[in-house]
């Protein structure tokens, strides 16, 4: 990972935040230098996609190789397309639910699949299922000769007690239609991998931290607004988004048929109460709590990813300090809460 990075004590601006998120590690630069083919990121306009595209471009530049990073989305907000073009990503507007439109996409060797729908499922479950299963079917058929890293979620695992985080051998037990559709997405990619021999890596992520959104952002916001922090979910895992994106790119080297599965998150299990108290101390604000802690949380064992890629470059303690300062200085929020306290699968 980014072992040569001198981390700042605080993050003071969006430009500094984006620079940190998209600085490629030496290991990633070496990987990109030796990886054949261009890259295409499907669903690039989401929360993580822009920084993933920028990271890939910067890694290519540092590696001194000639590769193109393509970014595909509907681009309902033109400014996101303009931003991507300005950092060197070649954008393609495409509705990935449209099979004929997907068939017109260029054949690219390295595919990162970030398409998915979560929030709003409770009111439109059929659209969630379509996005999370039909789109993968279109993609696996068109990119059958490629390697595919397919973003997924730790929500496919059962809820567990602290100390018993599931590894990749634990059987899925998704709760609710969103998580069930995410397992459906995985099954479609698994089918494509077996049917076509396509190398696939199922990238089970939870939870990515960017300071503008994420679990730490949500807790800090509660404290800043003098609202009680819900203890209903007692624990969680997090990973710096720069590390999550670095691992996503390097997972291209760990695709296989049948599909490989990899949990991606930080090695620390954080308790909601301890994190809230630490944030409160750094923010200089009192913390109030509500809700009775349950015994169960969504947790993941990321030991395999750590063995492959090394420990994340930014530890949870550093992320907490960064988040506290970011929130107190009025740093921008994306206004997209994670709803990490939801355990009944209703989003």
Contacts of 6 (CB under 8 A, 6+ apart): none
pLDDT at residue 115 greater than cutoff 60: yes
**pLDDT at position 246:** 98
For domain 14-210+239-267+299-309, give its CATH number from 3.30.43.10, 3.40.50.300, 3.30.390.30, 3.40.50.720.
3.40.50.720
Query: What is the token pair recorded at 223?
Result: 């404290």
Place of tokens 């990121």: 41
Instruction: Give the C-alpha separation, 83 to 70, whole Å.
Output: 13
pLDDT band at 121 (very low <50, low <70, confident <90, very high): low
pLDDT at residue 2 greater than cutoff 60: no
**pLDDT at position 124:** 86
Q: Which of 44-48, 195-199, 297-301 has the lowest mean pLDDT?
A: 44-48
Q: Could you give the angle at which helices 49-63 and 26-34 cross, rounded to 10 degrees?
A: 70
Question: Measured between alpha carbons, how far is residue 199 from residues 108, 122, 189, 205 in Å?
Answer: 13, 33, 10, 19
The share of the chain scoring above pLDDT 90, in percent, equals 90
What values do phi and psi take at 202, rounded to 5?
A: -90, 115
* DSSP-derived 3-state class of residue 248: helix
Cross-strand partners of 91:
71
Q: What is the mean pLDDT of residues 253-278?
A: 98
pLDDT at residue 120 greater than cutoff 50: yes
**pLDDT at position 5:** 54
Q: 5 versus 6: which is more confidently predicted?
A: 6
Q: What is the mean pLDDT of residues 138-150?
A: 98
pLDDT at residue 342 greater than cutoff 90: no
**pLDDT at position 4:** 42
Provide the whole-model pTM: 0.96
Q: What is the mean pLDDT of residues 259-277?
A: 97
Domain ranges for the chain: 14-210+239-267+299-309
Cross-strand partners of 277:
none
pLDDT band at 61 (very low <50, low <70, confident <90, very high): very high
pLDDT band at 123 (very low <50, low <70, confident <90, very high): confident
Closest by CA to 244, choosing from 216, 213, 207, 297, is: 207
Mean pLDDT score across all residues of the chain = 95
pLDDT at residue 3 greater than cutoff 60: no
Q: How many residues does the chain have?
A: 347
pLDDT band at 29 (very low <50, low <70, confident <90, very high): very high
Q: 346 versus 323: which is more confidently predicted?
A: 323
């Amino acid at each position: 990972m980014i072992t040569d990075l001198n981390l700042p004590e605080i993050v003071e601006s969006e430009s500094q935040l984006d620079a940190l998120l998209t600085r490629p590690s030496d290991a990633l630069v070496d990987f990109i230098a030796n990886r054949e083919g261009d890259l295409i990121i499907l669903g690039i306009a989401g929360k993580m996609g822009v920084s993933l595209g920028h990271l890939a471009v910067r890694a290519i530049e540092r590696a001194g190789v000639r590769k193109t990073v393509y970014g595909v989305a509907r681009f309902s907000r033109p400014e996101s397309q303009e931003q991507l073009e300005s950092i060197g990503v070649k954008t393609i507007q495409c509705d990935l639910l449209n099979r004929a439109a997907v068939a017109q996409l260029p054949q690219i060797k390295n595919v990162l699949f970030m398409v998915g729908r979560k929030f709003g499922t409770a009111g439109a479950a059929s659209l969630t299922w379509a996005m999370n299963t039909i789109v993968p079917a279109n993609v696996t058929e068109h990119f059958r000769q490629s390697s595919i890293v397919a973003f997924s979620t730790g929500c496919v695992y059962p809820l567990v007690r602290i100390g018993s985080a599931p590894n990749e051998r634990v059987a899925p037990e998704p709760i609710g239609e969103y998580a069930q559709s995410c397992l459906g997405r995985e099954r479609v990619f698994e089918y494509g991998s077996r049917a076509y021999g396509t190398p696939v890596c199922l990238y089970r992520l939870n939870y990515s931290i960017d300071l503008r959104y994420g679990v730490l952002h949500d807790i800090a916001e509660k404290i800043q607004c003098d609202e009680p922090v819900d203890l209903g979910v007692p624990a969680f895992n997090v990973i710096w988004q720069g590390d999550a994106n670095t691992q996503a790119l390097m997972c291209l080297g760990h695709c296989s048929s049948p599909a490989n599965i990899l949990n991606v998150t930080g090695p620390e299990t954080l308790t909601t109460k301890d994190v809230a108290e630490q944030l409160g101390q750094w923010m200089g604000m009192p913390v109030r709590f509500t809700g009775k802690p349950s015994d169960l949380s969504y947790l993941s064992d990321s030991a395999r990813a750590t063995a492959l890629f090394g420990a994340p470059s930014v530890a949870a303690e550093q992320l907490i300090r960064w988040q506290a300062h970011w929130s107190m200085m009025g740093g921008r929020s994306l206004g997209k809460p994670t709803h990490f306290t939801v355990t009944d699968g209703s989003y």
